[in-house]
Amino acid sequence: MPRLASRTDAFLTFHAVELFKQAQALQATGRDVVSLGIGEPDFTAPPQVLEALQRAAAAGQSGYSAPAGLAPLREAIAAFYASEFDALVDPSRVIVTAGASGALSLACAALVNPGAEVLMPDPSYPANSNFVLAAGGEPRLIPSSAGQRFQLSAQDVCDHWGPATQGVLVASPSNPTGTSVDHAELAELLRAVRERHGYAIVDEIYLGLSYEGRPRSALTLDDDVIVINSFSKYFHMTGWRLGWMIVPQGMTAHIEKMAASLAICAPTLAQHAALACFEPATLKIYEQRREAFRQRRDYLLPEFERLGLRVPVRPDGAFYIYTDLTELGTDSVSFSRRLLHEAGVAAVPGIDFGPAHGLHTMRFSYATGLDRLQEAVQRIGKLL
């Protein structure tokens, strides 16, 4: 076997994926498992998107696109950011990518120097650390508290920025907590980063799934942030592998040059289909589905409290609830294992998202139907 690069040992294991594999193995034996583990919407692409895909395929529109994506799609994304998130974006700054993963990979390749630190909150989505590692950088998780909504703060930047630090990576709303950074706090955080001549990558993958007031993009605060987004969550196109990034004007040529080699382009048929996402009738469907997610959250929150699964911070977005197990007197790994094998409920132990709170927290996804959530609550209650 060839000698592997040292970074392979540093990569974090994504326990949610491992849990998904275990749940599938149990289901293959005939066991019914309610999945509250993997963050994948139970909704799929609306009929308008499927019809657009079929038209594009029939017309033979399956060749390469420009590395930055189809011009009409970039224009549609820019218009969506203006109408939904109050951000005025020139379409030339939009780069269509192979999922948000492709966008994060390009962003880290463009910004992270070997050995450079990138600050993130603990808890954070584990793949974000791996993108930094893949670029040769050092992810540095800063323990955050419920008082901070489990987010990185401007004070954290001031306290932890060192000689090797070059930037920050934050998500709002967040996976695993479903919490957003307060807009005023985000402004202070971005100001602190700018004062240190650093960069800020802001993951807005779940911004469309915000439930408390009108969401605003980080781009309304600072034009120089690098924003990541995706068609997987709000638009329910997980396997289509389509996302985008919005970058400062001065970065576009560099990102396009890198994208041409690292990906050539995002899947072209998926790009043609995604144009239908922004039609008024399709957006109406997405808004109805967003309301369904909110109703699921509002059902689970009081049920979890009743069961002793304390929720330290009310989630305002995404489709996750981050719970504290302290009152149950167990650790997250043991509880996750018992939930799956004894109750037939899959949920992710907090160790996936960082060590600060990992042993006494769990992430539950409500990206499944209300009837299945009710079944999961009954099963958890019986186990407890």
Looking at residues 122-147, what average pLDDT do you find?
96
At 255 the three-state DSSP class reads helix
Looking at residues 175-180, what average pLDDT do you find?
98
Q: Categorize the per-residue pLDDT at 22 as very low, low, confident or very high, splitting at 50, 70 and 90.
A: confident
All domains in the chain, ordered by first residue: 7-44+282-383 (3.90.1150.10), 61-279 (3.40.640.10)
Helix (H) or strand (E) holding 97: strand 94-97
Token pair listed for 371: 């009837």
What pLDDT score does 13 carry? 74
- Helix-then-strand count for the chain, H and E: 13, 12
Query: Judging by beta carbons within 10 Å of its beta carbon (0-12, 13-18, 19+), is residue 251 exposed, middle or buried?
Result: buried
Looking at residues 252-265, what average pLDDT do you find?
96
pLDDT tens profile 78-122: 999 999 999 999 999 999 999 999 999 999 999 999 999 999 999
What pLDDT score does 277 carry? 98
Q: Categorize the per-residue pLDDT at 27 as very low, low, confident or very high, splitting at 50, 70 and 90.
A: confident
Q: Categorize the per-residue pLDDT at 247 as very low, low, confident or very high, splitting at 50, 70 and 90.
A: very high
| Residues 142, 356 contacting (CB under 8 angstroms) | no
Looking at residues 306-314, what average pLDDT do you find?
96
* Amino acid symbol at 28: A
Pick from 206, 250, 205: which is nearest to 224 by CA? Answer: 250
In this predicted structure, the answer to whether residue 331 has a pLDDT above a threshold of 90 is yes
CA-to-CA dists, residue 70 to 73, 85, 95, 145, 255, angstroms: 5, 22, 9, 42, 15
Quick check: pTM over 0.85? yes
In this predicted structure, the answer to whether residue 325 has a pLDDT above a threshold of 80 is yes
pLDDT tens profile 261-286: 999 999 999 999 999 999 999 999 99
**Residue showing tokens 């040529």:** 253
